[in-house]
Structure 1
Amino acid sequence: MEFVNKEYFILLTLLIPYIIWYWRNRKHSEPTMRVSTVVAYYKAPKSWRQRIVHTPMFLRCLAFVMIVCVMARPQTRNSWDNKSVEGIDIMLAMDVSTSMLAEDLKPNRLEAAKNVAAEFVAGRPNDNIGLTIFAGESFTQCPMTTDHASLLNLLGSVRTDIAARGIISDGTAIGMGLANAVSRLKESKAKSKVVILLTDGSNNMGDISPMTSAEIAHSLGVRVYTIAVGTNKVAPYPVPVAGGIQYVNMPVEIDTKTLSEIAQITNANSYRATNNRELSQIYKDIDKLEKTKMDVKRFSKHYEAYQPFAIVALFLLVAEFLLRFTVLRRIP
């Protein structure tokens, strides 16, 4: 149940001054009689009429509440929704090479990328989203799924030192990472297929060139948004030394030209992020460009539901009237 004119409920505040007025003036309206002493009446039992003497006032207040509810127009609703969703299939291709440990973004490039990617995923509950990671080679961390809780869990488990520990070869195989992501979209039936490719370097590994992978993506109708992450010139890079960490200035060498060409071939956009704020804004821009399409059919019918309140109000007023002029009638 819902009320159409909720503003009428403010009238209920009028009950406060009325109750105060009632309790202040009730003694002055009662008949009195002068006697020498009232000690004999202290322990006298109260009659049932005395016990219900304030009932009319209570009924009057309840009736006022019911009348205000009627004025607020209570309604019930009978409705149904039929929502058909045309989701977008998205693959995130993320560079996890050792250079992603550079700390020009905070706490480092990869952690910053993971954080904004997690926000992006959380904001698209209707889409199939998967994750490919690459360094010198590439593999699928999570296939496309609508189980975003599992996806976010696998995204969070990507370690910043995955290549440094030898789990995969170090390097930057952009072509392999893109090819892996595109292969996951090959059988997709969605009208919109997207890859978001994030890297901080230039292609120096792998058997497939970035442009070859871009041509394959274009032939399959996949748009590839490319993100080059890293500051200009040099970035602080942590190097383990005896007893701690020493930072060295690592040259930033990003092949922005190739990334731009990949995006251009696939009818998408290329971006550059030099700090956390810019990286977050890039994902927001992509989110706006690739909105999920929804066709919602909705039927709704409202029914007036004031009758029960009106009946209760009438009953209370009649009961108050009968009590006041029968059993509680006063004869001055």
Structure 2
Amino acid sequence: MSAACCALGMVVLQPKWQTTQDHYEKEGLEIVFVLDVSISMLAEDVKPNRLQRAKMEISRLVQGLEGDRVGLVVFAARAFSLLPYPTNDYERVFLRILNMINENYVRFVPYGTNIGNAFILAMDTFSKENTKKVMILLTDGEEQIITRSQVAEAVKLLLERKDIAIYVVGIGDPKKASPIPKRDKEGNVTGYELTEEEETIYTKPNPVFLREIAEMVGGTYQHDATGNELKHIFAQVIERHKNIVGIKKKNIIKDVSQYFLGGALALLALYFIL
């Protein structure tokens, strides 16, 4: 009983345990995400659909960043910069804007996939500061005839910006064409997107075209057919450009009063049992 009282007294004093841990200081990156919001991104060959899965993985990556600045450009027939400059306010600014991109937004923007315009606008989003810059363009890559000439225009500008590392990430099953569902406010499927001739529209990613685009702009191309690899692709990109500039000792203070509380309860239980 005396030992239990002593243990409870230690709980009242709230003892702490201090340890040290190495803290790696790294140079901050500027990361601009360029997200395809064309109607084909609503296809559900990736769960819950291509767009939502892309948003989930971007959000997960950003929540794990520290000291980096992020920007966001979306594109369909035209590109739009949703942030005037990269920000490190992840919760109140970047993630809030990212969450605004939904099915209603997709159906509001003009139809098409203007990758060239997206590249050009994304370049203007970066700051003029001397920091490492990374552009991650995520699309299902449905080719349109006019896209190649648009990208050719962007290439001229990108060749002048050697400081931007470009990654093109494809999403969606390239082996199977998928319809594009329409849903009501409750999320129930009410039909599928149709052509003017009332035929169901099917969408299928084109990795060959996307790889060609990546080579044209001097970037790297990777494809994810299921959405399960996106987090690994994003993590590899960040790890590749992470630059450690110093190591500091960081004090870690841990509250250990719960251990004394557990010991006191165990002693009291033993007292009453005996």
User: CA distance change for structure 1 residues 158 and 164 in 2, over 3 Å: closer, same or farther?
Assistant: same
State the 1:206 CA deviation: 7.1
Q: Which residue of 1 aligns with 2:136?
A: 196
Q: Which residue of 2 aligns with 1:133?
A: 74
Amino acid at match of 1:236: P
* Equivalent residue in structure 1 for 2:102, among 153, 159, 173: 159
Report what 2:197 is aligned to.
Answer: none
Unpaired segments ≥5 residues, structure 2: 11-16, 194-199, 252-274
The aligned counterpart of 1:218 is: 159
Percent of aligned pairs with the same amino acid: 26
Q: CA-atom RMSD, angstroms?
A: 3.6
Amino acid at match of 1:193: K
The equivalent residue for 2:235 is 284
* 1:296 to partner: Cα distance: 3.1
Aligned-residue offset at 1:250: 4.4
Aligned counterpart, 1:170: 111
Q: Is the 8 A contact 2:180 2:203 kept in 1?
A: no
Contact 2:26 2:242 in 1 (8 A): no
Which AA in structure 2 matches 1:147?
Answer: D
Residues 111, 292 of structure 1: alpha-carbon distance in 2 compared, 3 angstrom cutoff: farther
Please say which structure displays the higher CA radius of gyration: 1
Alpha-carbon distance in structure 2 between the residues aligned to 1:280 and 1:236? 25
Aligned to 1:183: 124
Deviation at 1:115, TM superposition (A): 0.3
Distance in 2 of aligned mates of 1:279 and 1:101: 17
Residue matched to 1:230: 172
For 2:37, the aligned partner's letter is V
TM-score (norm 1): 0.59
1:153 to 1:76, Cα distance in 2 relative to 1, 3 A: closer
Q: Deviations over 1:300-331 (max 9, x none)?
A: 9xxxxxxxxxxxxxxxxxxxxxxxxxxxxxxx
Counterpart of 2:268 in structure 1 is none
Shift of 1:264: 3.4
Partner of 2:191 in structure 1?
Answer: 246
Q: 1:265 to 1:105 in 2, by over 3 A?
A: same
The verdict on how the C-alpha distance between 1:277 and 1:207 changes in structure 2, with shifts beyond 3 A counting, is: closer
Please give the alpha-carbon distance, in whole angstroms, between the structure 1 residues aligned to 2:201 and 2:172.
11
In structure 1, C-alpha distance between the alignment counterparts of 2:104 and 2:147, rounded to whole Å: 20
Please name the residue that 1:41 is paired with: none
Cα displacement (A) at 1:159: 1.8
- Over 3 Å counting, the alpha-carbon distance change for 1:206 and 1:188 in structure 2 is farther
Give the aligned partner of residue 146 of structure 1: 88
Point out where structure 1 has 5 or more consecutive residues left out of the alignment: 1-14, 20-57, 66-74, 301-332
- Whether the aligned pair in 2 keeps the contact of 1:236 and 1:247 (CA below 8 Å) is yes
Paired residue for 2:255? none
**CA–CA separation in structure 2 for the residues paired with 1:96 and 1:252:** 14
Change in Cα spacing, 1:210 to 1:110, as seen in structure 2 (3 Å) is same
SS of the equivalent of 2:45 reads: coil
SS state at 2:82 partner: strand
Task: Give the TM-score taking structure 2 as reference length.
Answer: 0.70
Q: Pick from 47, 68, 73: which aligns with 1:106?
A: 47
The answer as to whether partners of 1:89 and 1:188 remain within 8 angstroms in 2 is: no
